[in-house]
């Protein structure tokens, strides 16, 4: 019996003493597999000490993680602590036990990540089979640090509540697909997101490094790729190695993606001989530009180039998986070229789907030769593709399940696209193993009802490796990238890590809000940067009215904003870029209105106060909107908020005992209709649906 199992048995026995499952007050996210809470806590003081023992204790990841943990604890508590000197000390406050040394070489898919955490008797015991499990347990421990609740005789300060936790992930592949081609993200930004990913136990950064808008890695074999295909924005190979080491220390694999044969304008700008026609080629800067051509799959020279290129990149990136894209190849890019049509006829290919299958098979052979497993988007799937390929689904669960039924491993990104600004509840409702449910009848933000389980055999189900959130960056620059990722990505991380039964949306939002604050202590700027951006928009005016207005709106959803034709050098400084993707204020208001209507009109005074304050802010913000040129487009938003607040207050007064005048309801509906689910520039006024509910609930015609 290994040491982890022994610790687990001891902890399991303690559960009967500790009681029931953890309350939301622990604010853990992702929610662990098993949590039991006891009375009391372990204080965190300046005498905090750490010991590490067991065969895996000297692993570099563990040794380097200990000082990081202490530094973060200092930051979270404000308590100075000496530099930790790990030792086998049974008196240490935090005692880490690592039962195994782990394998040599880079982290692999399916590596053991389980851990146990027991807080009791003035000590914290973190036990894991492997160093990787220790890293996951450390994040849970840091989430548990809190200010000690006040009670007579209690010493003020910080502590960790007595708990017993047994935890391990549901899926082995839990990632973020991170596009740095549309908008280049510097090394410090990538590292910051890696910190956030590690904090919520994500373990794969799928680094989208080439597209029509840019090629982002230094190639020593083919230097024109960065010279002509990057606009000077790329990572040197030394920087790549630095990021790889940084990620490995945090238990995160990095899977590179170089998109081919489509999305390849940056390749062709550097090496036009790869193209399916004569060009000219250039990097795409404006969204309305349609790439002229794609790679030519009929020329042997294309595969000779890609063989040499893939050899270089697989040597640079140590992970066993290599992503080749393969998505969105327009048939006319090939059928419009005579020699490609002739090739298809000679090889009896009935359509370009078969031609892409030919290309995918050739690339898989190259990737396999260089010791990697090929990953590609749905479009690479065809009956002749070897089962060693991994299918990355952006088209939905049915596509993922179809691949599993055919014997392919797969990962899901469909409906996890953070760039489309859907609420956390929507992403939270998507499960790799279930079809999406029907929308619930409750307030917006409560999420769909449970979906239909996948009709897979147990063996087929094992082929579903997990999933990835996706961030395509047509509409995200460095200063707002954190706000586009966080805190919603924590909800997706919980879907991948926590048990399938973890579906309580209200609990998710409560814990996600606490996690959002905690992530700021880690160094993410998803809350602070939008505040600074709004200060920039306000200029010499007091920013408070603009902040209030901004709290009631959200960016438009889906691909509707792409109609604005933003490019990689477009200015992204409007109000829609300076707000979160989801409004906590508007969601709370919608839920409060539901409770008011369901509970005999209790809580109307609070709703009245909110509406009065918002209506006043809509008036106060007008001088700013009138005189600040970038904000002038938002005057209709202020009009809408003022109108909605006035009608909402009237509706509340009529429901509290007054009598609505004849035709009031009809006129009120007509006034609010232009604001319900209607866009104003790039914005939606998200209190409008709740105001509509109030109006409809007023008695009378």
Hey, which residues are catalytic here? Answer: 328
Q: CB 469: neighbour CB atoms within 10 A?
A: 27
Tokens of 334: 């090939």
CA dihedral 395, 396, 402, 406 (to 10 degrees): 70
Distances (CA, A) of 227 to 41, 224, 261, 306, 521: 58, 5, 21, 18, 38
Q: Taking a C-beta distance cutoff of 8 angstroms, is the pair 370, 314 a contact? A: yes
Partners of residue 206 on adjacent β-strands: 177, 255
Name which of 485, 585, 602, 529 is nearest 195 in CA terms. Answer: 485
3 state SS of 603: coil
389's enclosing H/E stretch is none
> Whole-angstrom Cα distance, residue 254 to residue 335?
36
Tokens of 617: 């802010």
Tokens of 333: 């890019």
Q: Taking a C-beta distance cutoff of 8 angstroms, is the pair 268, 293 a contact? A: yes
Output the CA torsion sign for 376, 378, 380, 386. positive
Crossing angle for the helix pair 352-369 and 300-316, to the nearest 10 degrees:
40
Tokens of 245: 């080491």
3 state SS of 453: strand
Q: Taking a C-beta distance cutoff of 8 angstroms, is the pair 217, 186 a contact? A: no
Output the CA torsion sign for 31, 72, 578, 565. negative
Pairing of the two strands 390-393 and 409-412? parallel
Tokens of 322: 């290599």
How distant is the alpha carbon of residue 118 from its chain centre? 29
- The answer for residues whose C-beta is within 8 angstroms of residue 491's C-beta and 6 or more apart is 424, 425, 427, 428, 508, 512
For the chain, the 3-state helix, strand and coil shares in percent, each to the nearest 5, are 45, 15, 40
Pairing of the two strands 204-211 and 115-120? unpaired
Tokens of 160: 């960790």
Tell me the CA end-to-end span of the chain in Å, nearest whole number: 74
Instruction: Name the region of 40 (left: φ>0; alpha: ψ -120 to 50; beta: rest).
Output: left
3 state SS of 375: strand
SS (H, E, C) 465-492: EEEEEEECHHHCCHHHHHHHHCCHHHHH
> Whole-angstrom Cα distance, residue 589 to residue 610?
9
Angle at 573 between CA 572 and CA 578, to 5 degrees: 105
3 state SS of 252: coil
DSSP 560: G
For 619-653, give one letter per residue: b (16+ CB within 10 A) or e. Answer: ebbeebbeebeebebbebbbbbbbbbbbbbbbbbe
Residues in the chain: 701
């Amino acid at each position: 019996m290994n040491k982890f199992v022994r610790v687990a048995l001891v902890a399991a026995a303690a559960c009967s003493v500790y009681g029931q499952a953890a309350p939301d007050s622990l604010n853990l996210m992702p929610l662990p597999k098993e949590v039991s809470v006891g009375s009391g806590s372990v204080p965190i003081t300046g005498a905090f000490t750490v010991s590490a023992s067991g065969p895996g204790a000297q692993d570099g990841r563990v040794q380097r993680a200990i000082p990081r943990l202490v530094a973060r604890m200092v930051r979270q508590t404000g308590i100075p602590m000496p530099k930790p000197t790990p030792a086998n000390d049974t008196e240490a406050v935090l005692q880490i036990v690592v039962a195994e040394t782990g394998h040599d070489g880079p982290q692999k898919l399916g590596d053991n990540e389980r851990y146990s955490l027991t807080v009791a008797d003035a000590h914290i015991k973190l036990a894991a089979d492997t160093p990787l499990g220790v890293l996951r347990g450390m994040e849970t421990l840091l989430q548990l640090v809190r200010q000690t609740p006040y009670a007579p005789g209690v010493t003020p300060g910080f502590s960790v509540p007595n708990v017993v936790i047994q935890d391990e992930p549901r899926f082995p592949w839990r990632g973020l697909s991170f596009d740095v081609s549309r908008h280049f993200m510097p090394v410090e930004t990538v590292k910051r997101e890696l910190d956030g990913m590690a904090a919520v136990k994500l373990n794969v950064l799928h680094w989208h490094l080439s597209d029509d808008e840019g090629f982002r890695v230094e190639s020593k074999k083919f230097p024109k790729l960065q010279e002509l295909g990057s606009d000077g924005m790329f990572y040197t190979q030394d920087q790549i190695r630095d990021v790889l080491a940084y990620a490995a220390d945090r238990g995160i694999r990095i899977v590179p993606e170089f998109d081919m044969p489509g999305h390849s304008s940056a390749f062709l700008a550097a090496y036009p001989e790869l193209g399916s026609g004569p060009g000219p080629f250039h990097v795409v800067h404006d969204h309305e530009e349609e790439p002229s051509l794609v790679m030519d799959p009929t020329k042997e020279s294309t595969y000779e180039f890609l063989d040499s290129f893939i050899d270089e990149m697989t040597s640079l990136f140590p992970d066993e998986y290599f992503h080749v894209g393969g998505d969105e190849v327009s048939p006319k890019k090939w059928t419009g070229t005579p020699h490609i049509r002739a090739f298809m006829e000679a090889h009896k290919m009935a359509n370009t789907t078969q031609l892409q299958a030919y290309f995918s098979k050739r690339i898989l052979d190259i990737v396999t030769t260089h010791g990697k497993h090929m990953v590609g988007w749905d479009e690479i799937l065809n009956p002749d593709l070897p089962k060693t390929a991994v299918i990355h689904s952006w088209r939905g669960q049915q596509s993922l399940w179809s691949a599993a039924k055919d014997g392919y491993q797969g990962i899901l990104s469909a409906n996890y696209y953070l760039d489309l600004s859907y609420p956390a509840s929507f992403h939270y409702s998507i499960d790799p193993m279930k079809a999406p449910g029907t929308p619930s009848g409750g307030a917006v933000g409560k999420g769909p009802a449970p979906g239909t389980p996948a009709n897979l055999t147990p063996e087929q189900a094992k082929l579903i490796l997990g999933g990835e959130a996706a961030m395509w960056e047509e509409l995200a620059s460095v200063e707002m990238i954190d706000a586009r990722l966080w805190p919603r990505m924590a909800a997706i991380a919980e879907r991948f890590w926590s048990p399938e039964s973890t579906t309580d949306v209200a609990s998710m939002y409560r814990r996600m809000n606490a996690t959002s604050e905690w992530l700021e202590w880690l160094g993410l700027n998803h809350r602070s940067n939008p505040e600074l951006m709004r200060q920039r928009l306000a200029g010499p005016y007091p920013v408070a009215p603009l902040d209030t207005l901004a709290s009631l709106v959200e960016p438009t959803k889906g691909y509707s904003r792409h109609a604005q034709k933003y490019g990689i050098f477009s200015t992204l400084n409007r109000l829609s870029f300076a707000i979160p993707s989801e409004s906590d204020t508007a969601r709370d208001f919608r839920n409060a209105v539901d409770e008011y209507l369901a509970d005999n009109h209790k809580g109307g005074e609070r709703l009245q106060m909110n509406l009065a304050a918002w209506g006043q802010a809509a008036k106060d913000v007008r001088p700013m909107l009138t005189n600040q040129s970038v904000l002038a487009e938002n005057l209709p938003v202020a009009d809408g908020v003022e109108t909605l607040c006035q009608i909402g207050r009237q509706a509340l007064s009529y429901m509290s005992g007054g009598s609505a005048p004849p035709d009031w309801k009809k006129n009120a509906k007509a006034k609010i209709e232009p604001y319900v689910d209607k866009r104003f520039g790039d914005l939606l006024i998200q209190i409008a649906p709740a105001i509509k509910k109030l109006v409809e609930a007023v008695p009378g015609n």
